[in-house]
Amino acid sequence: MAVVAGLLDEATVWVGERGYEQWPLPFPRDELEAAVERGEVYVAEVDREVVATVTLLWDDPMYWGDRPADAAYVHKLAVRRACAGRRIGSAIVEWADMTAAAAGRAFLRLDCLADNPGIRSYYEQLGFEHRGDLVVNNRNMSIYERPVHGHRH
């Protein structure tokens, strides 16, 4: 739990230094604890050290509204800065893709800051397509989607 909080806070500081507001700092520990208890929070390890975290949800009405149960939603993807550039983030997205496929979902969806071109192009390189923009908590957000690789339409 503390290690996940540390990863999120490190990512928030790093993004903040570039002029973007990522997540609350520090990330609300009670919110994180509740998500951990619901089984939504995952970590990735390299050599038994936690290097990344992601939260996987099965619905996301705040960003996507009421939808059929056809997608998995990637949230709070953060990789330790010391491990940047090692394709850990894309490996986590592929894991989320397989998890979604195993659950019979057709799409992988996520949101990111609309004003951050770096994160947008990162997700576009991973095959996500821009599906719209919205304002959530006074922040301009963009929503992205890609078909799940293993899913047959």
Over the stretch 36-93, which tens digit does the pLDDT of each residue have?
A: 999 999 999 999 999 999 999 999 999 999 999 999 999 999 999 999 899 999 999 9
**Nearby residues of 70 by Cβ (< 8 Å), 6 or more positions away:** 105, 106, 107
CA distance 140 to 136: 7
d(CA 30, CA 38): 12
Q: How far apart are CA 61 and CA 43, in angstroms?
A: 24
Cβ proximity of 23 and 76 under 8 Å: yes
Sheet containing 139-147: which strands, arranged edge to edge? 41-46, 49-57, 71-79, 107-113, 139-147, 129-136
- Fold topology of 2-147: Aminopeptidase (3.40.630)
Cα dihedral 138, 116, 41, 126 sign: positive
pLDDT at 151: 55
pTM for this predicted structure: 0.93
Structural domain boundaries in the chain? 2-147
